[in-house]
Amino acid sequence: MCGRMAITLPHDAMAQIFDAAPGNDLPDVPNFNVCPTVQIHTVTSDGAARRLRPMRWGFLPHWYKATNDGPLLINARAETIAEKPAFRAAVRERRCIVVASGFYEWTRLDDGTRLPWYIFRRDGAPLALAGIWQEWERGEEGHVTCAVVTTAANAPMREVHHRMPVILERQDWPLWLGEAGKGAAVLMRAARDDVLDLYRVDRRVNSNRATGPELIEPIDS
């Protein structure tokens, strides 16, 4: 799964990397502890131009009467995304890229202790996570919301968790964003085993109130 992220790139760097026009209301960076329900950085395309824009992390189906009217949908499983009523229209029509520097995952000891790991691209590039999005409105309240698409973990990730986000390579961005026609379903697979690296980080990140660059510093495991 993907339940916590870090984003350290400046807005202009993200805009340049993804060839996207940046919005003027993007979340502050860096943020070493990005949690669900906050605004995150995403890339969308209308076929002619890309936008770097904020979205609420936590997909809201159109039938939700309030933001807390059902489960918090921060992830969408690739295996069932085309069948689930909450996601099936979005995966056909509203796909996005979620930009991150890395994400966190946890292993659990027999005594219940949760040990956090930081996962990032081995080549130092930002993560381009497959996402879906949807606009949601109730009365005067409105949000642009999104979820990260996940799949079965590759070999390195299985040491930590059985799920992982779908990670898009640069050559796949046009297809996922709908710029290169249909067939994006083939991209919903695990990354190659040599794409990611990971290491243990301090348990301070277990708190969603923790901040600071030390959250992504490696510790002896």
Beta-bridged to residue 117, according to DSSP, are 105, 200
| Count of C-beta atoms within a 10 Å radius of residue 53 | 20
Give which of 176, 190, 5 is closest to 90, Cα–Cα. 176
Given 2, 140, 159, 169, the catalytic residue: 2
Residue 182 contacts by C-beta under 8 Å, 6 or more apart in sequence? none
Does the annotation count 2 as an active-site position? yes
- Cα–Cα distance for residue pair 205/117, rounded to 1 Å: 10
Given 79, 83, 93, 105, the catalytic residue: 105
Which structure tokens are listed for 43?
A: 């890339």
- Cα–Cα distance for residue pair 52/4, rounded to 1 Å: 20
SS (H, E, C) 10-62: CHHHHHHHHCEEECCCCCCCCEEEECCCCEEEEEEECCCCEEEEEEEECECCC
- Cα–Cα distance for residue pair 84/175, rounded to 1 Å: 22
Report residue 213: phi and psi, to 5°: -65, -20
Does the annotation count 96 as an active-site position? no
Residues with catalytic function: 2, 105
